[in-house]
Amino acid sequence: MMTETDQILRVTDISKSFGGNTILNAVSVKLAKGEIKVLIGPSGGGKSTLLQCINCLVVPDAGAIELENETIDFRRKQDLYRLRQQVGMIFQDFNLFDHLTALDNITIALRRVKKMDKNQARQRARLELDQVGLGDKEALYPAQLSGGQKQRLAIARALAMDPKILLLDEPTSALDPTLIGEVIAVIKGLAVKGMTMIMATHQISLIYNLADEILFMENGRIVEQGPPAALLAAGNTSRSQGFCDRLNELAEVDG
Amino acid sequence: MPHALSVVFDSLPYLLQGSFLTIGIVVAAMCLGLVLGICMAVGLVYGNRFVKYLLTAYVWIFRGVPVVVLLFLFYFGLFNFLDLQFSAFTAVTIVLGMTTGAYQANIFRGAILSLPKGQFNAAIGLGMSELQAIKNIVLPQILRMSIPAWSNEYSIILKDSALAFVIGAPEIMARTQFVASRTYQHLSLYITAGIIYFLLTWAGVIALRRLERHLRIPGYSHQGNQ
Amino acid sequence: MFELSPFYQELLTSLNRGLLMSIALIIPSAIGGVLIGIIAGSLRTFGDPVVKAIGDTYAAIFRGTPLVIQLFILYFGLPNIGIYLSPYVAAVVGFTLCSGAYQSEYVRGALLSIKSGQYLGAQALGFTTLQVIFWIIVPQAVRRAIHGCGNEIIYLIKYSSLAFIVTCVELTGEGKTIATEYFRFTEVFTILGLYYLGLVSLAMVILKKIEQRLYVPGFGHN
């Protein structure tokens, strides 16, 4: 059993609606250091909004977020900025800064947000680029990178901020099937190093191999949760099992 | 009624008559510019080095020299020098037509270049001559592509046509100036003229937008060989 | 020794004087136009509906009427309600307002073309709103707008020739005076045209240099 002190992030009963549509309905998530949770479920189920709420890119209407036992005051901008610095986010469509080189995509936040000096920032950025295998691409602009390279750069950019948690919003969904492997390899590498992560994904290999716990979301709620071994056990009739079976079928058709 | 307004009301029919000439200038100049523009665009893309050089110089000159200077140069200078007895209307039309021709050449050139090369080759492959391919395959497509840029040209030419008064063509602006200089109601009269131009500008822009939408469902009509 | 005839000496002296006046018209108008364009363009993009409507109306009016009418209203029209502007001020105000309306169009287009993901990406890293604007939005908007805004300044150079109509004697005004005096229209207006070609070509070269300087893959104009 995990104790209260192990918990790095506590999300309690957060809700969000847009124009009368309830997208999140009192969702709670607890995350321990080094833990990996995977969000699955039909699109429109609220996975993306949940992730964006966790680092307050979308500010929840109700509920509480605690990072390392500190409650975030949603009305205080400084709180939001600090939270976002400590919680990294990987987007489906990368959101790299199109006017900056690969290197500067990483250094800009180090310099402007973390106030590092130029050389320090560059050193750190080069380290991260090497880590994701882009050491020779530092002078290229996003428009000159492949999808897989863009996503790896986005991961390097987030990691350079030394996030306590990394949120990944379908990191491989916008990629050409042949480029997915390189991104999965980087994510698996993060898991090995003990990165704490919440990830929305449809990649079976990530779900099976990385998840400590699966959260199945539908209609703005977590309707099922548990370790993959339990939820996806043979003969199980869980929603997650059915969902993963369908993903498997699709994967076979694709293959 | 204040004097300023009564002057406007009295002279409105006279000013509005000027819009016939204004529209005449614009339509004639646009048509001239269209023909010049297409010919020059074809030359700019498919012509030999000498032709390209010449056309580039033409475009450079007509895009770099102010319309007023061109009007003076042609009306008082060149046309006189060549002993051409053009009316102010004809002179304005020619100058504006040649100017918009330079811009339209660039528009059509861009459209031709953006056309997949396969279109031209496919036409040649079917046994069309180069001219037939241009006329039947290339032109219908680039004309359609050029409509948005055309509405921009229309708006520019319409506003430039107000400069015709410097050589005395009796269009809206010249008539306004004529009335204003006699009644001293400059403000209300020029605002009135501004409103007329404003309505003409947006009416034309909206009409061209309609045309664009109308042509968007493409059935590339084949005009046949004559 | 090659010597110019008195006519050409006088012509060139006048045109050079006019050139200075033209430049004195163009530079403040170009700067003012860009500033107004940035402000109006930003308000038209991000302002509340009322502000947006005001901005859109401003742009529609100044883009929908001939510049020469705007100048006439400023110089000949305003005295009707007791406002007197000098020819130079009327010309600069007219050029600035008209140019600003067109510039706002390019600024607005540039701002609209920035994808929302760019804000999100920066926010996710902990950027403050001001930092997002300064480090992400502005550098991208400048690259998207530079071609249109530069061309607008080139238009402004040409349309500065209208200042003589409100009796501010610049290049065209000087040329016209000499041409009428000597009755030598073709020569005078050809040389006058060359002056403008020089100005416009110089501006084009500078614009191209700046565009090259700022070029980033994925930000070229078509």
Could you report the per-residue pLDDT of B17-65, keeping only the tens digit for each? 989 999 999 999 999 999 999 999 989 988 899 999 999 999 999 999 9
The count of other CB atoms within 10 Å of the CB of residue A120 is: 13
pLDDT confidence of residue A3: 55
Q: Residue B222: pLDDT above 70?
A: no
Q: List the single best residue of B7, B56, B68, B177 to mutate versus C (max C Cβ within 10 A).
A: B68
Lowest mean pLDDT among A1-5, A19-23, C122-126, C174-178: A1-5
Q: Could you give the domains of chain B?
A: 3-216 (1.10.3720.10)
Q: Taking CB atoms and an 8 Å cutoff, what residues of chain C touch B64?
A: 158, 196-197, 200-201
Q: How many whole angstroms separate alpha carbon C214 and alpha carbon C216?
A: 6
- Domains in chain C, ordered, with CATH? 6-214 (1.10.3720.10)
| pLDDT-derived band at C1, boundaries 50, 70, 90 | low
ipTM: 0.90
Among the residue ranges C65-69, C89-93, C181-185, the one predicted with the least confidence is C181-185
CB of A158 within 8 Å of a chain C CB? The answer is yes
Average pLDDT over residues C133-160: 94
Question: B185 and C80 in contact by Cβ < 8 A?
Answer: yes
Contact indicator for C124, C85 with CB cutoff of 8 Å: no
Q: Do A141 and C216 touch (CB under 8 A)?
A: yes
What are the extents of the domains in chain A?
A: 4-254
Q: A4-254: which CATH topology?
A: Rossmann fold (3.40.50)
Cβ contacts of B180 on chain C, cutoff 8 Å: 76
The whole-number pLDDT of residue B131 equals 83
Residues of chain A with pLDDT under 50: 1, 255
Dist. CA A245–CA A225, nearest whole Å: 17
Test C127 with A112 for CB contact under 8 angstroms.
yes
Whether residue C141 has pLDDT greater than 70: yes
> In this predicted structure, what is the pLDDT of residue B147?
83
**Cα separation, A243 vs A202, whole angstroms:** 10
Question: Confidence class of residue B224 from pLDDT cuts 50, 70 and 90?
Answer: very low
Which chain B residues are Cβ-neighbours of C80 within 8 angstroms?
A: 4, 184-188
What is the nearest CA distance from B23 to chain C, expressed in angstroms?
14
Query: What value does the mean pLDDT of chain B take?
Result: 87
Q: Find, among A111, A109, A129, the residue nearest to A119 by Cα.
A: A111
**Nearest C-alpha of chain C: how many angstroms from A208?**
28
Instruction: List Cα–Cα distances, B52 to A82, B36, B41, B45, B58, in angstroms.
Output: 60, 14, 9, 8, 10
Collapsing DSSP states into helix, strand and coil, what is residue B85?
A: coil
How many angstroms separate the CA atoms of C19 and C195, rounded?
A: 8
Distance of alpha carbon C114 from alpha carbon C103, whole angstroms: 17
Per-residue pLDDT tens over the stretch B63-95 = 999 999 999 999 998 888 888 888 889 999 999
Q: Is the pTM of this model over 0.90?
A: no
CB spacing of C126 vs A113 below 8 angstroms: yes
In this complex, the residue of C78, C159, C186 whose CB is nearest that of residue B81 is C186
CA distance A191 to A36: 8
Q: Is the pLDDT of residue C222 over 50?
A: no
pLDDT at B221 (0 to 100)? 36
